[in-house]
Structure 1
Amino acid sequence: MTPVATTADLRKSGLSSREIQHACTPAGPWQRLLPGVVLTKQSPPTRLDRLRAVQSFTGPASVITGADALVRQGAALPLPRHVHVLAGPNARRAHPSILLERTTRPPEAIRADGLRLAPPARAALDLARREQNPHAVVAILDAVVDARLCTPGELHEELRLCSRRGTALVRQALRHLYPT
């Protein structure tokens, strides 16, 4: 069982709101990771705990993308402080530790470690589109192809399908690295 739970699920299991609140005090055995999401262990949360908390917070249709999705699937990339999440166009829940991107084209999620992850080509482009540094864009694309998570052709196809917003550097890098 995962140590991450929503307060709603804890109440359904028979705990009162008061018991949950008491367990999440500084002297208690639990900690609140996000509003309505609790870590039911005393040790510091792992990155996986944080990812599970983000998905509990953002809802069942959300998909983790960007660096976290790529690292979970085997790419060697640094992780940012925030977690990049794709959600439907009507998603309203936001938090400073979450980069919530609304999309009208949600990807078919890949399931791993109880998480819903964007496919590698989509996650790579979601990450690369937010980069300002051309060298970082190249590093992202190379990391995904080197890890054999997707092919250059899949990156080109995803780029064709995605929004053009923020893709100038990505297009330039793809043309340079992997001409069609």
Structure 2
Amino acid sequence: MTSVATTADLRKSGLSARAILHACTPSGPWQKLLPGVVLTTLSPPTRLDRLRAVLSFVGLSAVITGADALIRQGASLPLPRHIHVLAGTNARRAHPWILLERTTRPPEVVERHGLRLAAPARAALDLARRETNPRAVVEILDAVVDARLCTPRDLREELEAGCRRGTALARHALSHLYPP
């Protein structure tokens, strides 16, 4: 069982709003991670707890992408400061440690650890599109191919299917690393 719960789910299980609020006070046994999302332990939240909280906070259309999605699927990359999440165009929730990207083209979803993750090619290119350092883009593409999460062909197909905005470095790196 996960230690992350929404206040709505806690209310459905029979807890009053007042009991939930009291449990989340500094002297209580729980902690508020995001508005409407609670960690039902006193221990510091893990990255997995934070990922689950973000999915609960953003809503049913939310999918983790970028470095967190790739790391959870086996790539060796540094943890980012923000959790990058894709959601439908009607998503309006924001928070300082969430990078919310609205999309009309939902990614293929991979389920891991109870998380909805973007497929590797999409996650890699979502991460690469936000990168301004050409060397970092190469490291991202190498990491997913080296981990056998996807092939250069998968990356090319995702580049062609997706938005072209921000993909120049990824296109350049892919053509030099893995010529067609």
TM-score bracket for the superposition, by shorter chain length: over 0.9
Q: Is residue 2:132 matched to residue 1:125?
A: no
**3-state SS of the aligned residue for 1:110?**
strand
The Cα offsets for residues 103-150 of structure 1, whole Å up to 9 and x where unpaired, read as 110012111111000000000000000000000000000000000000
User: Which residue is equivalent to 1:95?
Assistant: 95
Q: How does 1:63-74 map to 2 (within 5 A)?
A: 63-74=63-74
Runs of 5+ unmatched residues, structure 2: none
User: Which residue is equivalent to 2:107?
Assistant: 107
* Alpha-carbon distance between aligned partners in 2 of 1:33 and 1:81, rounded to the nearest angstrom: 16
Runs of 5+ unmatched residues, structure 1: none
- Offset of 1:85 from its aligned partner? 0.3
User: Which residue is equivalent to 2:51?
Assistant: 51
* Alpha-carbon distance between aligned partners in 1 of 2:163 and 2:89, rounded to the nearest angstrom: 14
Q: In structure 2, what residue type is equivalent to 1:4? A: V
The Cα offsets for residues 74-120 of structure 1, whole Å up to 9 and x where unpaired, read as 00000111100000111111111100000110012111111000000
* Alpha-carbon distance between aligned partners in 1 of 2:93 and 2:20, rounded to the nearest angstrom: 22
Q: Is residue 2:171 matched to residue 1:146?
A: no
* Alpha-carbon distance between aligned partners in 2 of 1:61 and 1:46, rounded to the nearest angstrom: 23
* Alpha-carbon distance between aligned partners in 2 of 1:38 and 1:60, rounded to the nearest angstrom: 17
Q: How does 1:140-179 map to 2 (within 5 A)?
A: 140-179=140-179
**3-state SS of the aligned residue for 2:121?**
helix
* Alpha-carbon distance between aligned partners in 2 of 1:149 and 1:120, rounded to the nearest angstrom: 6
* Alpha-carbon distance between aligned partners in 2 of 1:126 and 1:141, rounded to the nearest angstrom: 11
TM-score after normalising by structure 1? 0.99
- Offset of 1:161 from its aligned partner? 0.7
- Offset of 1:30 from its aligned partner? 0.3
- Number of residue pairs aligned between Structure 1 and Structure 2: 180
Q: In structure 2, what residue type is equivalent to 1:130? A: R
- Offset of 1:157 from its aligned partner? 0.4
- Offset of 1:57 from its aligned partner? 0.2
TM-score after normalising by structure 2? 0.99
* Alpha-carbon distance between aligned partners in 2 of 1:95 and 1:110, rounded to the nearest angstrom: 24
User: Which residue is equivalent to 1:83?
Assistant: 83
User: Which residue is equivalent to 2:30?
Assistant: 30
- Offset of 1:37 from its aligned partner? 0.1
* Alpha-carbon distance between aligned partners in 2 of 1:55 and 1:15, rounded to the nearest angstrom: 22
* Alpha-carbon distance between aligned partners in 1 of 2:93 and 2:58, rounded to the nearest angstrom: 6
